[in-house]
Amino acid sequence: MTDRIAVLVVDDEVLVRLDVADQLRDVGYEVLEASNADQAIEILNITPGIRLLFTDIDMPGSMDGLKLAAAVRDRWPPVKIIVTSGHRNVDIAEIPDGSMFVSKPYAHLAVLRSMRELLSA
């Protein structure tokens, strides 16, 4: 069980987002959800306690998940970042330092392990 760490899940695929959010809530995380990067930025602007961003890469809107990750690293450096995609593999150089990439479909236990590893670093 966690100490109610706030995680922002960003994915335009509703069922995928809901599944990840439910899994995280089940183990005690506080979960906020966004369907695109623009919504994610709005949430980050009004919710200072977010500790981790879990974002898909391929999304509609003004920026994709990689650009969102870069924006979050610039504006909210303490926020840990996990980037995910089912359509492409990402080189570690494409994501901000200290971030992780998880390929879809992913195992929930692997996602949880990655989150715990990032949050404990």
For the stretch 43-102, pLDDT in tens is 999 998 999 999 999 998 899 999 999 999 999 999 999 999 988 888 888 899 989 999
Considering the entire predicted model, what is its pTM? 0.93
pLDDT at 3 over 80: no
Model pLDDT, residue 46: 97
d(CA 98, CA 80): 7
The CATH code of domain 6-120 reads 3.40.50.2300
- With vertex at residue 10, the alpha carbon angle to CA 26 and CA 50, rounded to the nearest 5 degrees, is 70
Model pLDDT, residue 1: 41
Average pLDDT, the chain: 92
d(CA 89, CA 76): 25
d(CA 54, CA 10): 6
Least confidently predicted of 10-24, 67-81, 101-115:
101-115
Q: Where are the domains of the chain?
A: 6-120
